[in-house]
Structure 1
Amino acid sequence: MRILTEEDVWAAVRGGSVFASGGGGWVDHGLQIGNAAVSIGQPKLVSVDELPDDAIIITATAIGAPAGTDWQMLGTDYIKAVQLLQENYDGKIVGVMTPQNGMSSSINGWLPAALLGLVVVDATGDIRAHPTGKMGSMGLAGIQDYETVQVVVGGKRETGSYLELVVKGSPAKTSNILRTAADQAGGFIASARHPLPASYIKKHAAIGGISIAIELGKAIIAAQPEGAEHVINTIVNHTQGTLLGKGIVTERNVHYSGAFDIGTITVEVPGGEALTLHVMNEYMAVDDAKGNRLTTYPDVITTLSGETGLPVSIGHVKAGAELAVLSVHKSKVPLSTSVKDPSVYPEVEKALGISLAEYAFDGVEPVIVDKL
């Protein structure tokens, strides 16, 4: 156990930005919420092994599309979501975790943890960011008879889009309801969900996900004074990743639909070749000019700025920008049960119009959870 600091906030945002895979929130929002957390209290980061098996842990996050422009999430919204979950759950909640790393999502639970006396658990539902709640639910999507509690809070008060919603039911059905709520609230909304015993987290989460992001972030911060190329090389070396190419963005065909950003981004690399990056809130796959698949979720897929070396989110990718495309193979990161669950892929494959599962399960044994 250790107390999280302002240095950790910066590192979590920088490292989380790589694992954001083009999504995962916003740097400014992450710094704002993280600094508020370490100013208002002393959030504690704990290993899940430090908690008894019956300690209840919840997931705190934000739901929506990174390119959404009409949303509002205040620090109080994250806190209110956790409070509403506490009020609607018959048991004592001990800790909070995040379903994914990201520019802000690595620290989503730090503020309510600091204010409400909870611990931040060093685990993630998925080491990288992903488009659907099911992909960060640690296998819950396949449990038909499990009743969960999910809460969302957020939206602009002045326009009447502010919402508070508590839903109970199967993880699969309630996740779809929360996505609709995010859309109605302007594109993004704060959430708290899935009270689970530590025994389940130990077995099904990506253990150490927050520490991994923080350590990568510290390396990036140390490399920044040396310039963009040094930052890119540091990220590649630290993650044991591979640069698929470096070139110019020639096309950005991404549209907002139902709290998702969906489409493609094309990067032309030397030799007249082109990389097609498939987007559903995050980068989900990359094909070469001949249609050959180069990398697929749950690989980490990130675009890095040619000017700064830092990750660039999908919402900030512009035609004419120079980007390096990074892939970190799934064998180099801890994988949760979420990404091994075949049931989480069909809706994403349908939205993108491409295959994911056949590549995602290459070398990975599928896991179907039928009970807690």
Structure 2
Amino acid sequence: MRRILTEKDVEPAVRGGSVYAAGGGGWTDHGRKLGLAAVSAGVPELVSVDELSDDEWVATAAAIGAPASTTPWEMQGVDYVNAVRLLEEALGSRIAALMVGQNGKSSTLNGWLPSAILGCKVLDAVGDMRAHPTGDMGSIGMAGSVEETIQTAVGGNREQNRYMELVIRGATGRVSPVLRTASDMSGGFIASARNPLRASYVARNAALGGISKALDLGYAILDAEPKGPTAMIDAILAETKGSILVEGEITEKSVTYTPEAFDVGTLVIGRGDAAITLHVMNEYMAIENAGGERLATFPDIISTLSQDAMPLSVGELEVGMKVHVLHVPKGLLPLGAGVLDPAVYPHPEKTLGIELARYALEN
């Protein structure tokens, strides 16, 4: 499968990625800018992993930070390109293709601009179908590895002298928190290229076809849009095979930005015995009912849709708004090795104060 990504693919990538953003995953305007810059600068090409040689290098193009627009972040398209350049210099070899760690409002398109300018391919693979808070969750099984790898970060608020470039080597689980600290110091959002791996490893451990699924969902949403919000939600449900878990009013919101560059807290929808609580760590990580029963847990897709059927991030939600909560169980998704790795769960469990691994790894 080879597919030239064009201007007509930009909006579907943003729309589909916005559903898989699960309350995070970047910004729609940022995603559109990345996509349009890419198709203007060159010819980004989407390829499947079987079109790469087993020993070719694949890296992950990522953006690290918190999505709630509470920090003075600045990310330019060139930052994504320079992150890949730094990685190639440190590796001493060319990157053949870029995958992304997750889908999202902008993260679905993270690899497009470096592909267009540097000539590497956009790989139809993701670390995780949905957005997630830690890089380890999209690292396709490298979180617990002692093998040395390379990660780079580029970006920052220029006006506040926060711009930085970083190259770090070490075990993935050890160096990933360093990049998150860099993100916070840069203004809350930074471009990264990380974890170069052989294509044969990616083929065994990534969630293959993840970009195509986001594009297909986006096209389905756009096709339904002229018919109104109900048709758009029906299209989302048909494409994802998910369901609307609850519809209701946001009655409480308690989410704060932490020095680790995470937005952490809870949202409550409804009141009394009918209330449900969404646990947030950048993205929606779990849902519980008023009795404490777990209704959904990462890596399930959990997304909030407005009354107009537009996916909303945590930062866009306010008390009094009415939303639909989309749920797609993990069994309906291609799962990367990162979300099946017990090593990725202790940190978010400690941060949120709830169990995740027991639910995420069952079955």
Under a length normalisation based on structure 1, what TM-score does the superposition of the two structures give? 0.95
Paired residue for 1:220? 221
1:148-297, aligned counterparts within 5 Å? 148-257=149-258, 258-268=260-270, 273-297=274-298
CA distance in 2, matches of 1:300, 1:89: 34
Query: Partner of 2:159: helix, strand, or coil?
Result: coil
Contact residue 102 and residue 130 of structure 2 kept, 8 A: yes
1:27-66, aligned counterparts within 5 Å? 27-66=28-67
| CA displacement at 1:90 relative to structure 2 | 2.2
Paired residue for 2:345? 345
Q: Which moved more, 1:36-45 or 1:62-71?
A: 62-71
Paired residue for 2:127? 125
Amino acid at match of 2:325: V
| CA displacement at 1:324 relative to structure 2 | 0.4
Q: Does the alignment pair 1:328 with 2:328? A: yes
Amino acid at match of 2:301: V
| CA displacement at 1:230 relative to structure 2 | 1.5
Task: Note the alpha carbon deviations across 1:332-363, whole angstroms, 9 max, x for none.
Answer: 11001001100100100000000001111121
Q: Does the alignment pair 1:310 with 2:310? A: yes
| CA displacement at 1:85 relative to structure 2 | 0.7
1:97-136, aligned counterparts within 5 Å? 97-136=99-138
Paired residue for 1:368? none
Query: Partner of 2:92: helix, strand, or coil?
Result: coil
Paired residue for 1:369? none
| CA displacement at 1:101 relative to structure 2 | 0.1
Query: Partner of 2:96: helix, strand, or coil?
Result: strand
Unaligned 5+ segments in structure 2 are none
Unaligned 5+ segments in structure 1 are 364-372
| CA displacement at 1:229 relative to structure 2 | 1.6
Amino acid at match of 2:328: V
CA distance in 2, matches of 1:254, 1:206: 30
Task: Note the alpha carbon deviations across 1:120-149, whole angstroms, 9 max, x for none.
Answer: 0000011111000000000001111x1111
| CA displacement at 1:73 relative to structure 2 | 0.3
CA distance in 2, matches of 1:75, 1:313: 22
Amino acid at match of 2:136: K
CA distance in 2, matches of 1:91, 1:152: 18
| CA displacement at 1:23 relative to structure 2 | 0.4
Task: Note the alpha carbon deviations across 1:271-305, whole angstroms, 9 max, x for none.
Answer: 86111000000000000111100000000000010
Paired residue for 2:97? 95
CA distance in 2, matches of 1:142, 1:129: 20
Amino acid at match of 1:213: A
Paired residue for 2:300? 299
Paired residue for 2:145? 143
CA distance in 1, matches of 2:328, 2:37: 32
Amino acid at match of 1:46: V
CA distance in 2, matches of 1:157, 1:362: 45
Under a length normalisation based on structure 2, what TM-score does the superposition of the two structures give? 0.98
Query: Partner of 2:285: helix, strand, or coil?
Result: strand
Contact residue 273 and residue 290 of structure 2 kept, 8 A: no
Amino acid at match of 1:249: I
| CA displacement at 1:91 relative to structure 2 | 2.0
- Count of equivalent residues: 360
CA distance in 2, matches of 1:61, 1:360: 23
CA distance in 1, matches of 2:148, 2:194: 11
Report the aligned-residue RMSD.
Answer: 1.0
| CA displacement at 1:236 relative to structure 2 | 1.4
Amino acid at match of 1:201: V
Structure 1 runs of 4+ aligned residues shifted over 6 Å read: none
Query: Partner of 1:93: helix, strand, or coil?
Result: coil
CA distance in 1, matches of 2:63, 2:119: 21
CA distance in 1, matches of 2:237, 2:295: 17
Query: Partner of 2:174: helix, strand, or coil?
Result: helix
CA distance in 1, matches of 2:225, 2:285: 27
| CA displacement at 1:261 relative to structure 2 | 0.3
| CA displacement at 1:226 relative to structure 2 | 1.4
